[in-house]
Amino acid sequence: MATELAALAGGAVAYLLVLIAIAELTERGTIPKTVARHPLVFALSMGVYATSWTLYGSVGFADRRGLDFLAIYLGPVLACLLIPLVWLPLSRLTRSLQLASLADVLAYRFQSQALAIVVTLFMVVGSLPYFSLQIRAITEAAAFLAPGVPKGLVAGLFCAVVLVFTVLFGTRHHGIREPRPGLVVAIAFESVVKLVAILTVGAVAYFGVLGGPGGVQQWLAAHPEALSELTGPVNEAPWVAFMILSSSAAFLLPRQFHMAFAERPSERALVHATWLFPLLLLLLNLGIVPILWAGRQLAPGLEPDLYVLAVARAYPGMSAVAFIGGFSAASAMVIVSSTALAGMLLNHLVTPFWRPAGNVYRRLTMARRLLVAGLIVAGGLTYAVLSPTGGLVQLGLVSFVAVAQMVPAMVGVLFWSRATRTGVLAGLVVGIIIWLAVLVLPALGQPYFLEGLLSLAAQVDPSWNDRWVASLVATMLANGSTFALVSLISRATPAEEEAAATCGRDLYARSPFSHVSSVAALRTQVAGVLGEQVAQSEVEQALRELDLPGEGLQAGELHTLAEHLERNLSGLVGPLPARAVLRGAPKMQSARSVLAEQVRLLESQLEGARLSGTAARIDVARRYLRQVLQDLPAAVCVLDSAQHVVLWNQRLVQITGLDSDRCSGEALVDLPAPWGAFLRRVAVADGPSPVEHELMHEGRGVVVQVDRRHLDAWDDSEGVVLVLEDLTERRALESRVAHQNRLASIGQLAAGVAHEIGNPLTGIVMLASNLRREDVDEDVSERLGLMISEAQRIQNIVSNLVDFSHGGAQQDGVTVDLQATSLNQVILEAGKLLDLSQRHRGVLCNVELDAAFQIMGDRQRLIQVFLNLLSNACDASQPGQEVRVRARALAGDEVQVQVIDEGEGISPEALTKLFDPFYTTKPVSEGTGLGLAVVFSIVRAHGGQIEAKSVVGQGTTMQVNLPLAPEGVGP
């Protein structure tokens, strides 16, 4: 016995060392990480579904219920067919929210610590029979191969091996946030070992014991009842019950959930598992029927669960293969299950009530290891307590029915947003009570409830008179109906509704969680609960993962950081404690206030995202619409309910001079004057819309029309859209047109008046001329001359008005009487008239005439020209400044006269319109806008040119070119 014990112990330790070596090599990178992420390795790791139940128990199950044993594997095949539609969304959800177990998912979805505790405890209790199944399979196998070996010793040895490996690799990392490639590859290796073992033993049975295809035909001919025993149960009710139980167990068993979702396989690996995992299960079951028949032939009367070992023992060396295969299957199950359950216990029964001091990571890891040890010990105790009758499969099915109780809750997670925590809890409690009564109590020798249930089931339908059918129907009916009814009559909390939206594939669903004031505040907040070390480490990790700087974050970035941090902490301490850590912040604000930042961040995330399919097409439409908004000719400003800017388009940038990036996300009150206060006033106004407003911007008046619309119908955000139109130019133009219209009216009136004035004026001139010819003294004669001269000028002005009223300001409309005229006298006379009018207002006039220029011109008209130019120059000058008049000959028989002032100058824009009729830069009451237009017309009528040059702030030069009189022409 000592030799056999030593061989067993040695084999177990050697196997453990091989597992450790594989896991360690993977963790170190010697075995590439790509191997761990390969779809085949993932499918093999999912093979943890096949335990010692498959290796040993399936043969016993087949002996009792024929091909019903296949239903345990065909259920997962059906479940795998739904991987793209059910597993994949669940995988994305768990990955996005760092949810590592079924309890995490339900706790998050229904925001209930109580539910998480119930689920965790139930999963632990429901898994313990499974643990005991593994221990029992190994101990019985050891006892069969080495009779006399104490079963307790074997059980202890097995527990020690799996405990060592689990502690080393199942709890190595902090929390369950980081994938454990070592664990994945080791479990995949264990699948290969058990696959090789069962295929080898199956081949031995088929070709060795039964004699190949011909031998099998002979054996079947000798045992004609074998095929009917095999196929008969398939057409009975339990087949469907087993299919339902196993299809839910395929991804809800703690170990399955852990490998499928917590170890973060790639989506590609998950989709390939649709067929790779069923193929693995097929290969694992291929040898069961031959082993059954070979076992019956070799060892009739032996417990069928041991047929695998009995067949193997018939060939040298095969016993070890069969035992190692069983050991591998059992240890993989215990390792992964205890890892998953320890995480659930830690997150939902430990961290909500225990705040570790000191090195939190180390203490959490230590707690996880203790929990793993406790679970394995509890499995051993269950093995000791539970009745050994009924075969290995019975214990496994008890666990399967327990796991099936989670199906209604998962429907609530994935498909039914109306489900409430009260409904889930009520349904689960009812299901658990029935499960305990009809499946657990009989295993403890109390079969009363089960017998009553079977009697009731037989009355409903005789085919339901089966332990598994009746228990499945009873628990699921009670659980599901209670869940649905209570959900319908109870109300979900806001937190549940938000979680339901997130679980409903809307991973960007808004959260009541909002931003904190700074990274430092966030760090302090985490430190207050989890300690300085964790706060420092977690905040830095979150910043690194989001590629954000450590300081100077905007509100939306802080919001994103806090959300990411919450998800990371969820992987460390569970979703609800993580939520409690981060949402207790007193500085949290309404999520609505960061809508702008969320939109901006979402857009920046989408900018860098690689989208495909429908998402890519929607993104193209989004970009197109955003560009339309950006390029609208109207200025658009969108505000959220807290008056933070969500959109600030390009036209608005042009009007306000404020950059879009500068304004987005800012509160209106923080925007520079006058826009912030103005837009805020407009946004909250109750009056009619649109409304025109005039405000001062950069020293000039701006007229804007604002139209306002509320976004009440969108997502309850109560935002506001403001559409602005800059009317400044239009209003100025309208003002000028109105002014010119007025002037035109006055012009017409003046022309009429001029016509009326003309006749009496002619009379005055004639009378004065007659009087002058009479014998009057010289003084009177001179005065009469002046009177006549001024009266003639009045006639000319009146004539101009008439010209404008008839022919506009074109030179064709001005009639000039060209005679040889002294330019110097014209200029001096204009200066004299300016003197008389007192319009120079202290401005010095300096006339520099190079020579006496003779020109061909209309004396009166030219005086009018220079009087006008001098008057304008004096008007533009300040007292004490100088106005210079210079005349010089030009090549080509021309003379150029410049009237230069040192006044304020004329803007380039005004310069282009200077000679337009009715255009004036003077106040409306001071100028008619006709003077320079008349000047222009007169100069052009003389065949000359006039030009204005000006520099704002330095002065203006009016330059008049006139043709000189031909030689010999004189006054």
Partner 1 sequence: MAGRAEGHRVDRSGEIGHGHWQTSLTLGTVRPVSNPREPERAADLVLLGFVTGVLVLATPLRGLWASPESPWWLPFAVWLAVIVVAALSARAWMRHGD
Number of residues lying near partner 1 (CB under 8 A): 60
Nearer to partner 1, 227 or 738 (CB): 227
Q: Coil, strand or helix: which one is 848?
A: strand
Pick from 41, 50, 59, 83 the residue near partner 1 by CB under 8 A. Answer: 83
Nearer to partner 1, 241 or 424 (CB): 241
Nearer to partner 1, 474 or 647 (CB): 647
Nearer to partner 1, 235 or 759 (CB): 235
Minimum CB distance to partner 1, residue 141 (Å): 26
Token output for 309: 């070992």
Per CB under 8 A, the segment of 559-567, 621-629, 680-688, 691-699 that binds partner 1 is 621-629
Token output for 631: 């390029």
Pick from 16, 21, 81, 856 the residue near partner 1 by CB under 8 A. Answer: 81
Q: Does position 832 bind partner 1 by CB under 8 A?
A: no
Distance CA(826)–CA(808), nearest Å, equals: 26
Minimum CB distance to partner 1, residue 600 (Å): 6
Per CB under 8 A, the segment of 82-90, 395-403, 569-577, 689-697 that binds partner 1 is 82-90
Per CB under 8 A, the segment of 9-17, 268-276, 377-385, 518-526 that binds partner 1 is 268-276
Q: Does position 463 bind partner 1 by CB under 8 A?
A: no
Residue with tokens 């299950």, as numbered in its chain: 337
Among 446, 444, 466, 445, smallest CA distance to 455 is for 466
Token output for 888: 């010089």
Minimum CB distance to partner 1, residue 717 (Å): 15
Provide the residue type at 515 as one letter: H
Contacts to partner 1 from residues 222-261, by CB under 8 A: 227-228, 230-232, 234-235, 239-240, 243
Nearer to partner 1, 302 or 653 (CB): 653
Q: Name residue 722's beta-bridge partners.
A: 637, 708
Tell me how far CA of residue 821 lies from CA of 311, 629, 859, 866, in angstroms.
141, 67, 6, 14
Minimum CB distance to partner 1, residue 287 (Å): 11
Minimum CB distance to partner 1, residue 217 (Å): 10
Contacts to partner 1 from residues 518-557, by CB under 8 A: none
Residue 794: exposure state from Cβ atoms within 10 A (0-12, 13-18, ≥19)? middle
Q: Does position 218 bind partner 1 by CB under 8 A?
A: no
Provide the residue type at 320 as one letter: A
Q: Does position 615 bind partner 1 by CB under 8 A?
A: yes
Q: Does position 632 bind partner 1 by CB under 8 A?
A: no
End-to-end Cα separation, the chain, in angstroms: 154
Minimum CB distance to partner 1, residue 41 (Å): 17
Contacts to partner 1 from residues 566-605, by CB under 8 A: 596, 599-600, 603-604
Nearer to partner 1, 617 or 773 (CB): 617
Per CB under 8 A, the segment of 3-11, 42-50, 507-515, 611-619 that binds partner 1 is 611-619
Q: Does position 67 bind partner 1 by CB under 8 A?
A: yes
Nearer to partner 1, 61 or 483 (CB): 61
Q: In terms of DSSP H, where are the helices of 223-299?
A: 225-231, 237-252, 254-257, 267-285, 288-298
Nearer to partner 1, 293 or 804 (CB): 293
Q: Does position 670 bind partner 1 by CB under 8 A?
A: no
Q: Does position 720 bind partner 1 by CB under 8 A?
A: no
- Asked if 13 and 161 count as a contact pair (C-beta separation under 8 A), the reply is yes
Q: Does position 485 bind partner 1 by CB under 8 A?
A: no
Tell me how far CA of residue 113 lies from CA of 256, 348, 479, 653, in angstroms.
23, 7, 20, 50
Nearer to partner 1, 413 or 652 (CB): 652
Pick from 494, 552, 613, 633 the residue near partner 1 by CB under 8 A. Answer: 613
Residue with tokens 């300001």, as numbered in its chain: 809
Nearer to partner 1, 595 or 948 (CB): 595
Token output for 268: 């590609």
Q: Does position 644 bind partner 1 by CB under 8 A?
A: no
Nearer to partner 1, 337 or 649 (CB): 649
Stretch 197-216: interaction string toward partner 1, x if CB under 8 A: -------------------x
Q: Does position 788 bind partner 1 by CB under 8 A?
A: no
Q: Coil, strand or helix: which one is 881?
A: coil
Token output for 547: 């590629």
Stretch 270-289: interaction string toward partner 1, x if CB under 8 A: -xx-xx--xx--x--xx--x
Nearer to partner 1, 282 or 851 (CB): 282
Nearer to partner 1, 5 or 653 (CB): 653
Pick from 551, 607, 729, 777 the residue near partner 1 by CB under 8 A. Answer: 607
Distance CA(427)–CA(312), nearest Å, equals: 47
Token output for 486: 């209570």
Tell me how far CA of residue 960 lies from CA of 844, 882, 922, in angstroms.
21, 19, 22
Per CB under 8 A, the segment of 253-261, 646-654, 881-889, 916-924 that binds partner 1 is 646-654
The crossing angle, in degrees rounded to 10, of helices 407-414 and 467-489 is 40
Hey, how many other C-beta atoms are within 10 angstroms of the C-beta on 749?
Answer: 12
Pick from 43, 46, 77, 186 the residue near partner 1 by CB under 8 A. Answer: 77
Distance CA(130)–CA(438), nearest Å, equals: 17
Pick from 5, 16, 25, 82 the residue near partner 1 by CB under 8 A. Answer: 82
Q: Does position 624 bind partner 1 by CB under 8 A?
A: yes
The crossing angle, in degrees rounded to 10, of helices 181-203 and 288-298 is 50
Nearer to partner 1, 230 or 585 (CB): 230
Distance CA(298)–CA(107), nearest Å, equals: 52
Among 636, 525, 551, 643, smallest CA distance to 594 is for 643
Nearer to partner 1, 626 or 742 (CB): 626
Nearer to partner 1, 463 or 815 (CB): 463
Hey, how many other C-beta atoms are within 10 angstroms of the C-beta on 353?
Answer: 9
Collect all residues with Cβ–Cβ distance below 8 Å to 461 and sequence separation of at least 6. 237
Omega within 30 of 0 (cis) for the link into 923: no
- Asked if 56 and 326 count as a contact pair (C-beta separation under 8 A), the reply is yes
Per CB under 8 A, the segment of 336-344, 579-587, 618-626, 729-737 that binds partner 1 is 618-626
Tell me how far CA of residue 221 lies from CA of 197, 233, 575, in angstroms.
29, 21, 61
Q: Work out whether the CA dihedral 742, 746, 751, 752 comes out positive or negative.
A: positive
Nearer to partner 1, 294 or 539 (CB): 294
Distance CA(872)–CA(834), nearest Å, equals: 11
H/E/C letters for each residue in 69-130? HHHHHHHHHHHHHCHHHHHHHHHHHHHHHCCCCHHHHHHHHHCCHHHHHHHHHHHHHHHHHH
Per CB under 8 A, the segment of 486-494, 511-519, 656-664, 717-725 that binds partner 1 is 656-664
Q: Does position 40 bind partner 1 by CB under 8 A?
A: no
The crossing angle, in degrees rounded to 10, of helices 391-404 and 237-252 is 70
Residue 566: exposure state from Cβ atoms within 10 A (0-12, 13-18, ≥19)? buried
Contacts to partner 1 from residues 285-324, by CB under 8 A: 285-286, 289
Nearer to partner 1, 657 or 807 (CB): 657
- Asked if 773 and 765 count as a contact pair (C-beta separation under 8 A), the reply is no
**Which residues bind to partner 1, rule: CB under 8 A?**
67, 70, 74, 77-78, 80-85, 216, 220, 227-228, 230-232, 234-235, 239-240, 243, 268, 271-272, 274-275, 278-279, 282, 285-286, 289, 596, 599-600, 603-604, 607, 612-617, 620, 623-624, 626-627, 630, 646-650, 660-661, 664
